[in-house]
Amino acid sequence: MKFSISAKKNQQTVRDAEVLCISKGTAKAKIFTVLGKKNSDLAANLSALAQKDDKRRFQAAIGTDTPHRLSVWCLESKMDLDVLEKECASFTAWQKAGNEARIIVYLDGLSKKDALTLLPVLMKSAGNTAYLPNTLKTRDNDETLQEIAFVTEYAADAAFQAVFTQTDAMVRAMNFARNLSDLPANHCTPDYLAEEAKTRAIKFGAKAKIHTPDQIAKLGMNAFLSVAKGSNVEPRFIELSYNGAKRGDAPIVLIGKGITFDSGGISLKPGAGMDEMKYDMCGAATVIAAFCAVAELKLPINLVALVPTCENMPSGHANRPGDIVKTMNGLTVEILNTDAEGRLILCDALAYAEKFKPQAVIDVATLTGACIIALGHVAGGVMGNNQELIDQILNASRTSNDKMWQLPLWDEYKEQLKSNFADLANIGGRPAGTITAGIFLSHFAEKYPWVHLDIAGTAWNGGKNKGATGRPIPLLLSFLVARAQMSS
Ligand code: BES
Ligand code: MN
Ligand code: ZN
């Protein structure tokens, strides 16, 4: 998907449709400049219609001297992000269905504030609608949206350009993450994931270190290795680092759960829908993609991405219920259910993160089915040990309309993780399953401000529209851009 912004409409631009955006109450003069003199009657009519019409958007198919479709959007002065996003999504779906690959969107009829609101929302919708998975079908149907050319008098404005560039990178990051996530586990193995991450990180000038099983063992990541050893494919520990701020400035660390397939292990999952457990690496994909977007945008922050990645499989080498392992930070864990494997790989990554003396750590994981029971497929769960950091995440969630909701990590919940034989049990029973998973992780994140994002319900869609969503990349980038602004 190609996006561009320019101040003037290029007469030569090939397009299949045009969209004229008007803020409610905008002076007519602006619309004249957009449509040109000879269409002034039409512009006046449209403008009058737009002023009258209470609906946010209406489409007027006109047959005068434009061979393609011309739509007019009237935006209300107070735009609700949710409504706008849905409108943009239905518009881009309609555009795709009508084979309108290239469109021109005139923003000149909008106030600057409205233009700045609409631009990223429309780009995100178009980018997500245009997405085609790298299907392994022998016959591909690859007709999709190709290009949106925005025409706006704000083209040279610094704030406008920043939003444009950031959203452009975000859209590409979401595409990349969705593609990795949609790949099945026999294609997207831990080694494949690591190589993809490394290639992309290096492409954008960042560094990559891929730890092999021997090196992971030397680090003492026994909980992580205990999950990996049930599978025939080797685990990897991915470490990406980017220096956009002063060398020595404390970095932000992102951690992603990279289970390329979660069968449950010996505590085997039921068969129905088990294919969807190829998505258990969505946290990893979004973290890698967001990291690379930061490097591409050259944001003035130091950033590290850590991804423990392996399969969770049943075999003669697999963890047994009751097995006890010693984690990297020394705590012992009784594995009462081998299907609670996410926390076992994340706890070692959290312990490893200490060595960076990070200013903040954010882990992203498809961690608990209980999170879907609590928040459905609408919002992810946010937990952490530092309310200021949690509030920054919730703020980023609101500005990017990437929904998240906070759950508490009160001490009372710690009771549920008591084990007779080890420091911690890896499950806490059915009550508050998302929270007890968060509590488990919190024991490994005591040395720094930390936030945990449970994206089990939001990382992919099931059913007929099965596919990864790329969430929470919008939230992560919004948060990281805000941190970059704070520090510069
Ligand atoms: N990857 C799953 C969580 C999951 C389940 C995400 C369904 C999305 C949809 C995770 O590893 C898991 O199996 N968690 C268990 C934990 C339980 C054994 C305490 C769960 O949620 O059932
Ligand atoms: Mn599991
Ligand atoms: Zn899992």
Answer whether residue 168 is part of any domain. no
pLDDT at 407: 98
Residues in Cβ contact with 185 at an 8 Å cutoff, skipping those fewer than 6 apart = 260, 261, 278, 311
pLDDT tens digit sequence for 186-212: 999 999 999 999 999 999 999 999 999
Residue 146 has pLDDT above 60, yes or no: yes
Answer whether residue 436 is part of any domain. yes
In which region does residue 141 sit, left (phi positive, over 0), alpha (psi from -120 to 50) or beta (all else)? Answer: beta
User: Percent of the chain, pLDDT > 70?
Assistant: 88
Residues involved in catalysis = 269, 343
Does 183 lie in the same domain as 70?
no
Answer whether residue 161 is part of any domain. no
Answer whether residue 345 is part of any domain. yes
Last residue of a domain, one of 156, 190, 209: 156
Q: How many A from CA of 480 to the centre of ligand 2?
A: 29
Q: What interhelical angle do 342-353 and 433-442 show, nearest 10?
A: 30
* DSSP H stretches of helix in 72-218: 81-97, 112-130, 158-182, 190-203, 213-218
Task: Provide the residue range defining the domain that includes 32.
Answer: 2-156
The helix or strand, by DSSP H or E, that contains position 353, with its residue range, turns out to be helix 342-353
Which residues have any ligand 1 atom within 6 Å of their CB? Answer: 262, 280, 337, 339-342, 366-370, 427, 433, 456
Does 443 lie in the same domain as 359?
yes
Q: Phi and psi at residue 367, in whole multiples of 5°?
A: -90, -40
- Nearest ligand by distance to the CA of 367: 1
d(CA 256, CA 365): 6
Annotate 342-358 with b (16+ C-beta within 10 A) or e (fewer). Answer: bbbbbbbbbbbbbebeb
Closest residue by Cα to atom 9, ligand 1, is 369
* CB-side neighbour CA atoms (13 Å) of 218: 6
Does 402 lie in the same domain as 345?
yes
Tokens 């998975």 — which residue?
133
Tokens 């088990």 — which residue?
274
In three-state secondary structure terms, 381 is strand
Q: Which two tokens stand for residue 109?
A: 């009829």
Closest residue by Cα to atom 13, ligand 1, is 339
Answer whether residue 83 is part of any domain. yes
- Domain CATH for 326: 3.40.630.10
* Residues β-bridged to residue 137: none
Answer whether residue 67 is part of any domain. yes
Q: How many A from CA of 414 to the centre of ligand 3?
A: 21
pLDDT band at 58 (very low <50, low <70, confident <90, very high): very low
Does 303 lie in the same domain as 211?
yes
pLDDT tens digit sequence for 362-390: 999 999 999 999 999 999 999 999 999 99
Residues in Cβ contact with 361 at an 8 Å cutoff, skipping those fewer than 6 apart = 252, 253, 254, 255, 350, 353, 445, 448, 449, 450, 451
Does 248 lie in the same domain as 139?
no
CA distances to 22, 48, 223 from 296, in Å: 33, 44, 34
Tokens 């190589």 — which residue?
195
What mean pLDDT is predicted for residues 93-117? Answer: 86
pTM (2 d.p.): 0.94
Q: How many A from CA of 284 to the centre of ligand 3?
A: 12
- Domain CATH for 111: 3.40.220.10
Closest residue by Cα to atom 8, ligand 1, is 456
Q: What total of structural domains would you count in the chain?
A: 2
Answer whether residue 170 is part of any domain. no
For the CA atoms of 82, 83, 88, 89, the dihedral, rounded to the nearest 10 degrees, stands at 70
One-letter amino acid for residue 127 of the chain: G
Contact yes or no for 458/469 (Cβ under 8 A): yes
What mean pLDDT is predicted for residues 439-459? Answer: 99
Does 237 lie in the same domain as 152?
no
Residue 54 has pLDDT above 50, yes or no: no
Closest residue by Cα to atom 16, ligand 1, is 340
DSSP notation for 6-49: ESS--TT---SEEEEEEETT--HHHHHHHH-GGGHHHHHHHHHH
Answer whether residue 448 is part of any domain. yes
Residue 303 has pLDDT above 80, yes or no: yes
Does 141 lie in the same domain as 179?
no
Does 66 lie in the same domain as 93?
yes
Ligand 1 pocket test target in 282, 345, 368 with most atoms within 8 Å of CB:
368
Does 180 lie in the same domain as 142?
no
Does 198 lie in the same domain as 66?
no
Contact yes or no for 334/320 (Cβ under 8 A): no
Return the ∠ at Cα 207 (arms to 241 and 257), rounded to 5°. Answer: 55
Does 182 lie in the same domain as 152?
no
Contact yes or no for 309/194 (Cβ under 8 A): yes
Does 97 lie in the same domain as 27?
yes
d(CA 283, CA 193): 12
Residue 361 has pLDDT above 50, yes or no: yes
